[in-house]
Chains A and B, each alone.
Chain A
């Protein structure tokens, strides 16, 4: 199956294109929450409301990122295995996922008055750096992988 996928003229590039589309929606849902945490986004709404509203989009887009990302890896596993940028992307991705599911979520849903104002700001900035790190390192694999 991997062989057929690799040999197809259209399948691999189309999967890459759909992967980028899924990444775009995912990043949009992350950035809207991070902007709110930084105090710059839709501030008329609570942090919890914005982040919770974005959660469903994150889950669906994340699923689409996985479905379009895994076949790209399995068809070229040996090449990716040797790519330092791919390994970096996976480590940053693991850190971003862990941070989003734990620290970012807890800070976002915490009572607004309970935390010092710098806490959500720092969390929003770290989240933004981590997720853009995943996106940028993923893109650079094409050139330096």
Chain B
């Protein structure tokens, strides 16, 4: 059976990945940037979610939060993905079997799908309830699901250094 391990071992042996991994600054600075961008991105996404579930910003029209924050969310999401991919490439053998890393990826994909369904389907008819402090039930569910999925993604991220299930 084909194994991905030799590819990861090859990646890990490259001069630039080795240099970044062993540098006293390379890995820590990339990882810190990764966390900083995720905190801004997920923090802003969660503000929109709190509006959807009615826990904050209830008197701010959803469009104001959703549309005006989108570019800032994406502006933080793209570098967080870039630094995240770089962190994986630098040390793939450390991550690929880590339960928390796999959980993080899984919940990240689920959060992305939830956001996609919300933007393409639920929010299409948003103008009818945009200014209402109480949004329609499908939008409320999307907000609650997003809060849960991003929370689990962040908690799983922080637990990656503890591989309790080797």
Are these two chains actual partners, yes or no? yes
Count how many pairs of residues, one from A and one from B, have CB atoms less than 8 Å apart in the complex.
Answer: 114
B164 touches A28 (CB 8 A): no
Task: Give the CA-CA distance A66 to B17 in the complex, in Å.
Answer: 37
A137 closest partner in B (C-beta): B32
Shortest CB–CB separation between residue A61 and chain B, in angstroms? 9
Pick from B36, B58, B162: contact of A136, CB below 8 A. B36
Main DSSP-derived SS at the A contact region = helix
A26: min CB distance to chain B, Å: 8
Q: Does A88 contact B (CB under 8 A)?
A: no
User: Looking at chain B, what size class is its interface with the partner chain?
Assistant: 35 or more
A62 within 8 A of B: no
Contact B158 A140 (CB under 8 A): no
Chain A interface size, under 10 / 10 to 19 / 20 to 34 / 35 or more: 35 or more
The reply to whether B69 and A21 contact each other, CB–CB distance below 8 Å, is: no
Q: In whole angstroms, how far apart are the Cα atoms of A35 and B69 in the complex?
A: 9
Given the complex, which residues of B lie within 8 Å of A18, measured CB to CB?
155
Which chain B residues numbered 50 to 77 have a C-beta less than 8 Å away from chain A?
50, 55-61, 63-65, 68-69, 72
12 of the cross-chain contacts (CB-CB < 8 Å) are: A17-B156, A25-B46, A27-B39, A28-B40, A28-B46, A32-B65, A41-B69, A41-B72, A42-B68, A53-B60, A57-B47, A132-B40
